[in-house]
Amino acid sequence: MSHIRIVLTGAAGFIGSNLAGRLLQEGHAVIGVDNFMTGNPANLDSLQAWPSFTFIEHDVIQPIGVDGPVDWVMHFASPASPPKYLNYPIETMRVNGEGTRHLLELCQHKNAGFLLASTSEIYGDPSVHPQPESYYGNVNAIGPRSCYNEAKRYAEALTYWMSRTYGIPVRVIRIFNTFGPKMDLNDGRVITNFINQILADKNLTIYGDGSQTRSFQYIDDLVDGILRLLDTPYDQPVNLGNPVEHTILEIAEIVKELMNSTASIEFLPLPEDDPRRRKPDITVSKSILGWEPKISLHEALLRTIRYYQSQFIH
Ligand code: NAD
Ligand code: UDP
């Protein structure tokens, strides 16, 4: 891919900062945008060393102006962890609603393409397993998770209608549970919670009986898939996730083993509408992108644990 200029929202967050780092390494110019609502300014430190990186502190619920040409706008700004989006329900709906609209308008103005970070949450508590892109989902429109999953569904609808109406080139990725370095240790998602609890000598918290499943992907595999998608003309939604499925109880045991921990497990109530099972069908990404995850859960956890140990234990 020739070198391009990208506006990347959510650049101070977990995925945004990792993606920005890789885009800069590949020779692209990145204009990062973030309001630090759930992101961390320290995630920008290694990016600021690149002359091809600039940063705009801005809330993308408001329209944004950017100087100079733009080839792609990539919209990753949004709280992503259940406790965070439940803390900011209206902001979450607005960043995916009005935020998505303003960024699509920026694309119209700049003749740029638009990449939307969507989510496996749009499949809700799925009645089809594993989930292919053609599955319409099983979502409670007014439940506790609706401020996030319905907002992302609206963001997808808006993306495709703005594309059909104004000819904006679009890419939509449906990201399945992803973790790795630079995720906020207090983010509230399950892998960071378990590592954080072991580092703090606390019990591991399992919601429900731990029999619900998720399929966890390492951040580098996700970033690899995103770069491949930019290199293809494919404009339909693409699942990016690791199809290896585990129960949450298994995840707790694996994290304990890798950290040599004897922590106890504390069972807490399962939140309402928590999906029972989740696993991506990656037939499309395999055939369109020639992509599949390469990093095993063990390796991904080891790298992530080492990262947090280097950050917090001196
Ligand atoms: P994150 O919370 O680490 O990053 C989100 C970033 O967006 C933060 O830096 C936050 O400050 C910023 N932000 C939020 N609202 C904003 C606003 N109004 N204006 C400007 N910046 C704003 O979360 P993440 O895990 O990096 O998720 C990034 C994107 O990927 C989100 O859109 C999320 O829905 C999507 N996603 C993530 C996962 C995952 O497993 N990590 C799974 C599916 C989808
Ligand atoms: N979970 C858990 N303990 C925790 C945090 C989460 O058992 O400390 C469960 C949660 O109920 C869900 C799964 O782990 O079933 C994944 O939760 P996470 O918030 O990481 O992602 P999501 O629910 O959005 O897939």
Residue 276: phi and psi, rounded to 5, are -70, -40
To test ligand 1's pocket by mutation, which of 33, 36, 37 has the most ligand atoms within 8 angstroms of CB?
37
Q: Regarding beta strands 72-75 and 178-179, do their DSSP bridges make them parallel or antiparallel, or are they unpaired?
A: unpaired
301 contacts: CB under 8 Å, gap ≥ 6: 191, 254, 255, 258
Helical packing angle, 190-199 and 248-258, nearest 10° = 40
In the chain, which stretches have pLDDT less than 50?
314
Note the ligand closest to the C-alpha atom of 240. 1
Q: Do domains 5-179+216-243+279-294 and 190-211+245-277+304-313 have the same CATH topology?
A: no
Q: Closest Cα to residue 94, out of 63, 60, 69?
A: 60
Residue burial 207-239, b: 16+ Cβ < 10 Å; e: rest: beebebbbbbbbbbbbbbbbbbbbeeebbebbb
Residue type at 89 in one-letter notation: P
- Please state the φ and ψ torsions of residue 51, each to the nearest 5 degrees: -65, -25
Q: What CA dihedral angle connects 268, 258, 218 and 279, to 10 degrees?
A: -50
For tokens 């290896």, name the residue: 244
Nearest CA to ligand 1 atom 33: 80
* CATH number of this structure's domain 5-179+216-243+279-294, picked from the four choices 2.40.37.10, 3.40.640.10, 3.30.56.10, 3.40.50.720: 3.40.50.720
Per CATH, the architecture of 190-211+245-277+304-313 is what? Answer: Alpha-Beta Complex (3.90)
148 is catalytic: yes
Angle at 279 between CA 72 and CA 237, to 5 degrees: 30
Give the pocket of ligand 1 (CB within 6 Å): 9-10, 12-16, 33-39, 59-61, 76-80, 95, 99, 117, 119, 175, 177-178
Ligand 2 site-directed mutation target among 207, 215, 256, most atoms within 8 Å of CB: 207
pLDDT tens by residue, 280-304: 999 999 999 999 999 999 999 999 9
Render pLDDT for 45-76 as a digit per residue (tens, 0 to 9).
Answer: 999 999 999 999 999 999 999 999 999 999 99
Instruction: Identify the residue whose C-alpha is closest to ligand 1 atom 35.
Output: 117
Binding site membership of 250 for ligand 2 (Cβ less than 6 Å): no
pLDDT in the model for residue 1: 77
The closest of 82, 184, 231 to 143, measured between CA atoms, is: 82
Number of the ligand 1 atom closest to the C-alpha atom of 16:
26
pLDDT for position 312: 72
How far is the centre of ligand 1, averaged over its atoms, from the C-alpha of 44 (Å)? 14
pTM exceeds cut of 0.90: yes
Amino acid 313: pLDDT = 57
Q: What pLDDT score was predicted for residue 144?
A: 95
**Residue 207 in contact with ligand 2 by CB distance below 6 A:** yes
E-only strand ranges, 36-84? 53-57, 72-75
Residue owning the nearest CA to atom 17 of ligand 2 = 190
Domain segments of the chain as ranges = 5-179+216-243+279-294, 190-211+245-277+304-313
HSE, CB side, 13 Å, CA atoms: give it for residue 184.
19
- Provide the β-strand partners of residue 119: 175
In 3D, which of 167, 228, 152, 219 has the Cα closest to residue 192? 219
Percent of the chain residues past pLDDT 70, beyond the cut: 99
- Residue 155's Cβ-count burial label (10 Å; 0-12, 13-18, 19+) is buried
